[in-house]
A = this chain, B = another copy of it.
Amino acid sequence: MRRGNGLSLRQKEILRYIQEFVRENGYPPSIRDIQHDLKISSTSVVAYNLNVLKEKGLIHRDEKVSRGITLASDEQAMLFGLTGKGGKVPLLGVITAGSPLPDPEEVDTAAAEKIDVPAEVVPPEKLNDVFALRVRGQSMIDALIDDGDIVLLRHQENAQNGEMVAAWIVDQNAVTLKKFYHEGDRIRLQPANSAMQPIYTSPENVRIQGRVVGVLRSLL
């Protein structure tokens, strides 16, 4: 008997079948799915071989759970959307100078449209709390952000000096993208263009809504 790494023909069949099934259906097969499609005479035969595969670490099983078969390692990760390169973030809406951002906490990030984010822009492991907004108007053109661009923002309420943030200026009820500087007891919001004047205000009057981590632009 080859206890080592050798799989019986039937075990290989089953493993391949599970992979294909998940790919096709989006959920794992039941023992009887395997039995029927692979023309195995009994469910216990399937169960026996699944246990072998489990012992060898090729699959994981949640006992007592229907369709509780999951693939191990690479296959698993790939199916989980860690698909190597890019990830996805919700496109929550439009940012226009003068209008407040929707509160990401209150927006349905689940049902929102999602857009791809290349790993070259934001690595997948840093994609937490990142959302996207489409820019309307050219109010942020000094920050190299044009009308129609999609900006990627990581939701955070604090900022380091020099970071580009989406700041809500409370007494004006307006949101703009500016570089953030904390200078003594006041805040300086600096446009990227020296032709425009910076905004000086108190910390209480500024609510950071997120930091700009990326820009996507289509010129078609």
Whether A116 contacts B218 by the Cβ 8 Å rule is no
Q: Is A216 an interface residue (CB 8 A)?
A: yes
A103-121 near B? 1/0 per residue, CB < 8 Å: 0000011111111111111
Pick the interface stretch among A44-52, A60-68, A167-175.
A60-68
Task: Find residues 1-59 in chain A having any chain B CB closer than 8 Å to their own CB.
Answer: 4-5, 7, 12, 15-16, 19, 23, 25-28, 30, 58
Query: Which of chain B's residues has its CB closest to A106's CB?
Result: B4
CB of A80 to closest CB in B, whole Å: 6
Q: Which residues of B contact A141 (CB under 8 A)?
A: 144
A208 at the interface (CB under 8 A from B): no
A109: B residues at CB distance < 8 A:
16
Flag A121-157 by CB within 8 Å of B: 1 or 0 each. Answer: 1110010000000000000010011100010000000
Residue A110 contacts which of B16, B83, B126 (CB distance < 8 angstroms)? B16
Do B215 and A214 touch (CB < 8 A)? no
Pick the contact of A218: B23, B68, B76, B121 (CB < 8 A). Answer: B121
Q: Shortest CB–CB separation between residue A132 and chain B, in angstroms?
A: 9
Q: Does A81 contact B (CB under 8 A)?
A: yes
Give how many A residues have a beta carbon under 8 Å from the other chain's beta carbons.
Answer: 68
Query: Taking the complex as formed, is A85 at the interface, i.e. its CB lies under 8 A from any CB of chain B?
Result: yes
C-alpha spacing A172/B78, complex, angstroms: 41
Bound state CA distance, A122 and B4, in angstroms? 28
Given A27-B70, A79-B81, A144-B145, A216 and B120 touching (CB < 8 A)?
yes
Residue ID in chain B nearest A216 by CB atoms? B121
Whole-angstrom CA separation of A215 from B146 in the bound complex: 11
With A26-B28, A78-B88, A81-B78 already in contact, the answer to whether A216 and B219 are too (CB < 8 A) is no
Q: Does A204 contact B (CB under 8 A)?
A: no
